[in-house]
Amino acid sequence: MSRLLQRLFGRLPVGWLQLTHNRTRFFAALAGVAFANVLVFVQLGIMNSMSSAAVRPYAFFSADIMISAHDANTLSDGANVARQWLYQALADPEVAEGMGLYVTNVPWDRGMTDISLTTFGVDPFQPQFLTGTLGPDAGFLQLRDAALLDRLARGFNRADAAGISPATPLSFETERRTLTAWTTFAGGGGFGSDGYMFVSDQTFLRLFPARRAAAPDHILLRVTPGADVAAVVTRLKATLSDPGLRIRSFADAKAEDLRYQQTRRPTGVVFGFGVLIGVLVGLVIVYQVLSSDVADHLREYATFKAMGYRPSFFLGVVFEEALVLGVLGFIPGMIFGGGILTLMGKVTTLPLRMTPDMALSVFLGTVLFSALSGAIATRRLAAADPADLF
Amino acid sequence: MTEITVSAERLSHWFGQGETRKQALFDVSLALPRGSFTVLMGPSGSGKTTVLTLLGCLRAVQAGSVRLLGHELHGAPEPHLVALRRRLGFIFQMHNLHESLTAAQNVIMGLQVHPGVPDATARAAAAQVLGLVGLSDRIDYLPANLSGGQKQRVAVARALVGNPALVLADEPTAALDKDTAAGVVDLLKRMGAARGTTTLLVTHDNRILDRADRILTLEDGRIVKVEDRA
Ligand SMILES: Nc1ncnc2c1ncn2[C@@H]1O[C@H](COP(=O)(O)OP(=O)(O)O)[C@@H](O)[C@H]1O
Ligand SMILES: [Mg+2]
């Protein structure tokens, strides 16, 4: 290491030698940087998984435009939308088809635990609005009280889920009705619920008698092939001029949901804040170590100044130390952070993992912020006055 | 005519501001010929250290003139002073070695201030100078594992390794016992003579006086006596 740095800097690696001279302090500093890294990794991991969990339900649908109530920030909040807007939208020459979408969370008693499934009521005669296996399987929903279950739902035994097939359907109670799951699809646990379920709009209305056919939660639209979605959205905003409506392309709805989760929801803000705290902890630890190291060596630095070393030499030494702390602290930080994320992902079924992107940005962040701490710490160098040495 | 390494002309210096402003040096003039060994004496607070820091480019000259190696220091910009300092060797009362660096590495720091010295050359030079100060067997020791006299010898080696034109030493023997002190001064004198180095040494120590070519005595910021011994 010493040799490597000597090569790198073309001089004695004074920073490295100085930093490693006091082993206890050195390892404490590395542990501090690693700890800050773990904090950032865990928070970032949770934020990322929150993002992918938030947008996961959008992947179930194949739509171009979504009409929602103005206060609907996600698929499962906001007021209802009158079905009449669906018919008005269909009057647009470039709107090919439309479907009302009903959404609510349904508790499902799984013995030991009650799990909660975000349940979508869809039109089984319009499978083109569904993606993947959901489209072909929508036919099952034409049966009375039929359901499609999320085989990756949290708290749903994987073996039980695998046992569900049209030959061996699973009947279960919810909302005091018996539903029958004919097959399953791949969803997964999120922050709002433990998984997903699809039923027909008819079944949905039977489950929730208070809900009205005339008022779905969202209206999904598909445009004619080749039509410009943005242009259609603009036109619909003009013709459906009700301020209570939020008319957006489906892609925008997904993007806005994501942004909402990250910036407006307490969880998003808390974890975002957690990242900030991690960064600050790292910054303060590195600053603390470097500035006390500078303070402890003022005499030596003053001696070097007297000998004719330029200010750039001292900056170089402090940056060298910052770099060593950043790089060497990152390695255990990444290992522990990754381990904790994997473990948490196993327990929560959230898509928690360390991506190479994440590792790279945390690494660059660590080096950057270490250098920043170093830069702040160098202000103390001014106190090294060689004239005071004699 | 002898070559003058450093000279001062009517050098005055003040410390502090306003009410507390106090003059420490009054019209000090001196000239050190190349290769000479000069001792600067005087009671505590007489201004010896102030003279040393002014000649050594560690303080800005306020009044009068200092010419060092052909350069006027009065009004010289800081980078210029830093560059000049590289041609000097400083020895302090405390050894001021870097605790994290071995004896050899401390000496190398005295050489590395000159750009472009290859690593291997620096190592060889450090080993050689440490040999001259009698520390061949302590090259890879950290300062913590050296005695006081050994540390001060490493400091001498560090000051001399870059072949300085002028060595400025401020009570380098104050922290040493008699024999060790005499050893360090002899070393300075011997190595200075061998290399043509000019040396200015501040001391209280009477035993050192007989090694000087010239003794300057400072009192209350004025040179009151000049004795030539050579
Ligand atoms: N940094 C300083 N600030 C204020 N006064 C100083 C400073 N350094 C020295 N002095 C004053 O200048 C005078 C000469 O000091 P100095 O050169 O250190 O003397 P010596 O080295 O002979 O003991 C003393 O009166 C001292 O108090
Ligand atoms: Mg003094």
Q: Which of B15, B55, B218, B220 to mutate to test the pocket of ligand 1 (most atoms within 8 A of CB)?
A: B15
pTM: predicted TM-score of the whole model, two decimal places? 0.76
Other residues' Cβ atoms within 10 Å of the Cβ of residue B78? 10
8 Å CB contact between A128 and A222: yes
Share above pLDDT 70 across residues of chain A, in percent, rounded to a whole number: 100
B133 and B38 part of one domain: no
B187 and B134 part of one domain: no
Chain-wide mean pLDDT for chain B?
91
Give the E-state strand segments of A14-140 in sequence order. Answer: 65-69, 95-110, 113-122
B13 and B37 part of one domain: yes
Q: Is B203 in the pocket of ligand 1 (CB under 6 A)?
A: no
Q: What is the average per-residue pLDDT within B93-104?
A: 92
Q: What is the average per-residue pLDDT within A336-344?
A: 91
The ligand whose atoms approach the alpha carbon of B41 most closely is 1
Over residues B149-204, the pLDDT tens digits come to 899 999 999 999 999 999 999 988 877 778 778 888 888 888 888 888 999 999 87
B172 and B82 part of one domain: yes
Share above pLDDT 90 across residues of chain A, in percent, rounded to a whole number: 54
Q: Whose CA is closest to A79, among A228, A216, A243, A206?
A: A216
Rounded to an integer, what distance in angstroms lies between the CA atom of residue A92 and that of residue A94? 5
B108 and B66 part of one domain: no
B119-132 and B148-160 are packed helices; what angle lies between their axes, rounded to 10 degrees? 130
In this predicted structure, the answer to whether residue B120 has a pLDDT above a threshold of 60 is yes
Rounded to an integer, what distance in angstroms lies between the CA atom of residue B138 and that of residue B152? 13
Share above pLDDT 70 across residues of chain B, in percent, rounded to a whole number: 99
In this predicted structure, the answer to whether residue A350 has a pLDDT above a threshold of 80 is no
Q: Which two tokens stand for residue A353?
A: 């993992």
Q: What is the average per-residue pLDDT within A360-383?
A: 86
B116 and B75 part of one domain: no
Q: Is A296 on the interface with B (CB under 8 A)?
A: no
Last-in-domain residue among B127, B145, B163: B163
8 Å CB contact between A377 and A294: yes
Last-in-domain residue among B107, B140, B163: B163
Rounded to an integer, what distance in angstroms lies between the CA atom of residue A30 and that of residue A16? 13
ipTM: 0.91
Please answer yes or no on whether A306 and B101 come within 8 Å at the CB atom. no
Instruction: Pick the more confident residue, A219 or A9.
Output: A219
Over residues B38-85, the pLDDT tens digits come to 999 999 999 999 999 999 999 999 999 999 999 999 999 999 999 999
Assign A113 to helix, strand or coil. Answer: strand
Structural domains of chain B, count: 2
Q: Is B43 in the pocket of ligand 1 (CB under 6 A)?
A: no
Please answer yes or no on whether A390 and B52 come within 8 Å at the CB atom. yes
In angstroms, the first-to-last Cα distance of chain B is: 17
Give residue A65's pLDDT. Answer: 97
B228 and B184 part of one domain: yes
B113 and B171 part of one domain: no
In this predicted structure, the answer to whether residue A346 has a pLDDT above a threshold of 90 is no
Rounded to an integer, what distance in angstroms lies between the CA atom of residue A319 and that of residue A165? 63
Q: Which residues of A touch B99 (CB under 8 A)?
A: 21, 300
Confidence of residue A83 (pLDDT cuts 50, 70, 90): very high
B25 and B72 part of one domain: yes
The domain of B43 spans 1-87+166-230
B75 and B9 part of one domain: yes
Give residue B14's pLDDT. Answer: 96
Q: B215 pairs with which residues across the strands?
A: B39, B227
Q: What is the average per-residue pLDDT within B204-221?
A: 87
Give residue B230's pLDDT. Answer: 65
Q: Whose CA is closest to A349, among A197, A196, A190, A192?
A: A190
Please answer yes or no on whether A12 and B105 come within 8 Å at the CB atom. yes
Last-in-domain residue among B163, B186, B216: B163
Please answer yes or no on whether A307 and B100 come within 8 Å at the CB atom. no
B115 and B227 part of one domain: no
B10 and B81 part of one domain: yes
User: Residue A149: enclosing H or E segment and its boundaries?
Assistant: strand A146-150
Give residue A189's pLDDT. Answer: 83
In this predicted structure, the answer to whether residue B1 has a pLDDT above a threshold of 70 is no
Chain-wide mean pLDDT for chain A?
90
Q: What is the average per-residue pLDDT within A158-165?
A: 90
Over residues A223-253, the pLDDT tens digits come to 999 999 999 999 999 999 888 999 999 999 9
Q: Is A294 on the interface with B (CB under 8 A)?
A: no
